[in-house]
Amino acid sequence: MPIISVSQLAPSYDVIVVGSGAGGGQSAYTLTMNGAKVLMLEAGRNYDPVTETPMFQTNATAPLRGTSTSDKPFGFHDSTIDGGWNVPGEPYTNASDDPKEQFTWWRPRMLGGRTNHWGRISLRNGPYDFKPYSRDGLGFDWPISYEDVAPYYDKVEMLVGVYGSNEGLENTPDSPEGILLPPPKARVGELLAKKHAAGMGIPVIPIHRAVLSVRQDAENIPAKLHPGNTKAQAILAASMRARAACFWATPCGRGCSIKANYQSTTVHLPPALATGNLDILPNAMAREVVFDANGKATGVSFIDKVSGKEVTAKGRVVILAASSAESARILLNSISTRFPKGVANSSGLVGKYIMDTVGAGLGGHIPLLENLPVHNEEGAGGHVYIPWWLYKDQLAGKLGFARGYHIEFGSGRNMPGMGAGAGTPGYGKKYKDEVRRNFGAGMGFSGRGEMIPNEESFCELDPEVKDKWGIPVLRFHWKWSEHETRQAAHMQKTFAEIIEAMGGKPGKPKPNGADAIHQGGNIIHEVGGTIMGAQSNKSVCNQWNQTWDCPNLFVNDGGAFASNADKNPTLTIMALAWRASDFILEEMRKGNL
């Protein structure tokens, strides 16, 4: 029985994986498809998008017309369950009372984690993104290059299904021919933005998104991903055939009952379970990694949330993939005589250099988009985006900030919510005519930029506060540098200029970037805290996500990131997790683990 209870735990496993999202799901997939016996510990409940996704429910049938609430920040139909920025009984704290110096931590408590909710934007880090220090002298270089990760980007894109195009732009990597699925057509508002942005020297191109625009090639991809492994090929082929192509009907954040978009729960875990090599234990709140007298990890201690009892699962290798901050918390709580500051923390850097994506937004009204004919523009978010286009100006020092951003923007006649009448109160024919005229005429622009790691952004254990299970919680310290706030100000100026070029009227931009920038954690892209590096005294992990202090302990989530490029981190998390899992398999084969 793959979904197990505590009483069904095996005496020991080859690998214990903590977390079931992008990093945990990819790790479990790679390991089990190659014969390893894996236990996955998930802090939340079991979740099945096929049966639980409200794909076709309208907001009219939802409580409060589907609007946001404290327990459903993204609306009633959002797929996140038992989670959000605040989880009852599981607090975290901030060292500062100033909201601008606070971090907001998003945690889903469900099988598949954030992969059920995310926007599916799947951008490769480019060559510059792995060597930022060498380029501008700020932050850290990764101990790996783009060339090291590129083959794993190929594998992940083939496995999960990513649509997009190859444009040959600077530091915006193309994929090998035949890997990307065809991108969907741009919407009318996106085409209008592309037309006018071109005159400003700003490229608008198809975005890369983990959504099936067509069915996957189940006849050929399995052999490419698992050469010589006929069992894995057959399992993957069956899994791919069970996924349908997107019909652009409902927002991806609801989850996908037809498996068209990527979720760990529909893409990674079903084939991993089909191998017979994976046990999944939900409601298992990891407390700490346990060790033998030689400092070798022997398993994970966790709270069984069903019984409230503490249990230890045993394994030959431990992978933490609980999200970057949660994995840091587990390491810091893994205290012993041998590891008085927490395991893997001889450098003192566990919890240090946490990063989020720089975010700022601005909307506007576009008269040219008024009174559009009724048509469907639902599904899969934006179909195009603007990659960072000012690398040369930035390198020449013309911008006043060191790292760039990409632009996501939304237009079209998506499912209306409250306030569809542009905020004008009223009723009757006049009000309805206004709603019809304005519906689809608004456009919103969002910048997603790179944060440079700094010493004032970190997490540590709170000395007093514990969660409902008695586990010490995290206390966050946070600070944006001027590089990020100036970047946010540049975003606001750019958004306003694009809207005006389209003949529209922008909202009021905030020229002060410190006012425009979103609070740390708001974009839900936190990485770092267990950064990788080339030297053990300056990092927590090596190039294989392997902790320097404990060779059979790995961190396969965003914690190992040495920088946080403007590209959304999920694709890179999966690529690095696959790469690390291949390394683990080879080291186990050699008897080194």
Give residue for tokens 């090291």: 148
Domain that holds residue 240: 1-49+96-164+209-355+457-478+526-593
Distance of alpha carbon 332 from alpha carbon 562, whole angstroms: 19
Please check whether residues 351 and 231 belong to one and the same domain: yes
Structure tokens at 459: 């997490």
pLDDT tens digit sequence for 45-76: 999 999 999 888 888 888 888 888 888 899 99
Distance of alpha carbon 147 from alpha carbon 39, whole angstroms: 32
At residue 60, the 3 state secondary structure works out as helix
pLDDT tens digit sequence for 223-254: 999 999 999 999 999 999 999 999 988 889 99
Report DSSP letters for 343-373, one per residue: TT-TTS-TTEEEE--EEEEEEEE-GGGTTPP
pLDDT at 419 > cutoff 80: no
Residue 549 lies in a domain: yes
Please check whether residues 131 and 220 belong to one and the same domain: yes
Residue 101 lies in a domain: yes
pLDDT tens digit sequence for 115-167: 998 999 999 999 999 999 999 999 999 999 999 999 999 999 999 999 999 99
Residue 464 lies in a domain: yes
Could you tell me which residue, 60 or 477, shows the higher pLDDT?
A: 477
Look at residue 440 in the predicted model and tell me its pLDDT: 86
Give residue for tokens 């899992």: 581
pLDDT tens digit sequence for 548-558: 999 999 999 99
Please check whether residues 119 and 198 belong to one and the same domain: no
Residue 117 lies in a domain: yes
Distance of alpha carbon 251 from alpha carbon 118, whole angstroms: 11
Cα-based angle 106, 445, 458 (whole degrees, multiple of 5): 30
Tell me, what CATH number does 507's domain have?
Answer: 3.30.410
Please check whether residues 174 and 293 belong to one and the same domain: no
Please check whether residues 144 and 222 belong to one and the same domain: yes
Look at residue 438 in the predicted model and tell me its pLDDT: 85
Please check whether residues 443 and 486 belong to one and the same domain: yes
Please check whether residues 397 and 511 belong to one and the same domain: yes
Distance of alpha carbon 331 from alpha carbon 289, whole angstroms: 7
pLDDT band of residue 417 (cuts 50, 70, 90) is low
Please check whether residues 21 and 115 belong to one and the same domain: yes
Residue 56 lies in a domain: no
H helices present in 98-187, as ranges: 127-130, 132-136, 146-160
At residue 230, the 3 state secondary structure works out as helix
Structure tokens at 33: 């498809």
Report DSSP letters for 394-439, one per residue: HHTT-SSSS--EEEEEE-S-PPP-TTTTTT----HHHHHHHHHHHT
Residue 250 lies in a domain: yes
Structure tokens at 350: 């566990």
Residue 391 lies in a domain: yes
Distance of alpha carbon 339 from alpha carbon 342, whole angstroms: 5
Please check whether residues 238 and 201 belong to one and the same domain: no
Tell me, what CATH number does 160's domain have?
Answer: 3.50.50.60
pLDDT at 421 > cutoff 50: no
Look at residue 423 in the predicted model and tell me its pLDDT: 52
Residue 397 lies in a domain: yes
Look at residue 415 in the predicted model and tell me its pLDDT: 67
Domain boundary among 466, 496, 516: 516
Please check whether residues 429 and 545 belong to one and the same domain: no
Which long-range contacts does 140-145 make (Cβ < 8 Å, 24+ apart)? 140/353, 140/453, 140/531, 140/533, 140/562, 140/563, 141/562, 142/532, 142/543, 142/562, 142/563, 143/532, 143/533, 143/534, 143/539, 143/542, 143/543, 143/562, 144/532, 144/543
- Per DSSP bridges, beta strands 310-320 and 553-555 are parallel
Computed from CA positions of residues 393, 395, 400, 401, in that sequence, does the dihedral angle turn out positive or negative? positive
pLDDT tens digit sequence for 286-344: 999 999 999 999 999 999 999 999 999 999 999 999 999 999 999 999 999 899 999 99
Over residues 404-411, the mean pLDDT reads 94
Q: Which helix (H) or strand (E) holds 145?
A: none
Over residues 179-183, the mean pLDDT reads 97
* CA proximity to 4, closest of 37, 49, 50, 53: 37
Look at residue 450 in the predicted model and tell me its pLDDT: 98
pLDDT tens digit sequence for 14-57: 999 999 999 999 999 999 999 999 999 999 999 999 999 988 88
Look at residue 425 in the predicted model and tell me its pLDDT: 66
- Per DSSP bridges, beta strands 205-206 and 505-506 are unpaired
Specify the number of domains making up the chain: 2
Given a contact cutoff of 8 angstroms between Cβ atoms, the answer to whether 200 and 499 are in contact is no
Given a contact cutoff of 8 angstroms between Cβ atoms, the answer to whether 327 and 555 are in contact is yes
Q: To the nearest whole percent, how much of the chain has pLDDT over 90? A: 87
Look at residue 190 in the predicted model and tell me its pLDDT: 95
Mean pLDDT rounded to a whole number for the chain: 95
Please check whether residues 312 and 408 belong to one and the same domain: no
Structure tokens at 67: 């609007």
Look at residue 473 in the predicted model and tell me its pLDDT: 98
Q: Is the pTM of this model over 0.95?
A: yes
Distance of alpha carbon 227 from alpha carbon 218, whole angstroms: 14
Distance of alpha carbon 467 from alpha carbon 333, whole angstroms: 13
Please check whether residues 171 and 276 belong to one and the same domain: no
At residue 30, the 3 state secondary structure works out as helix
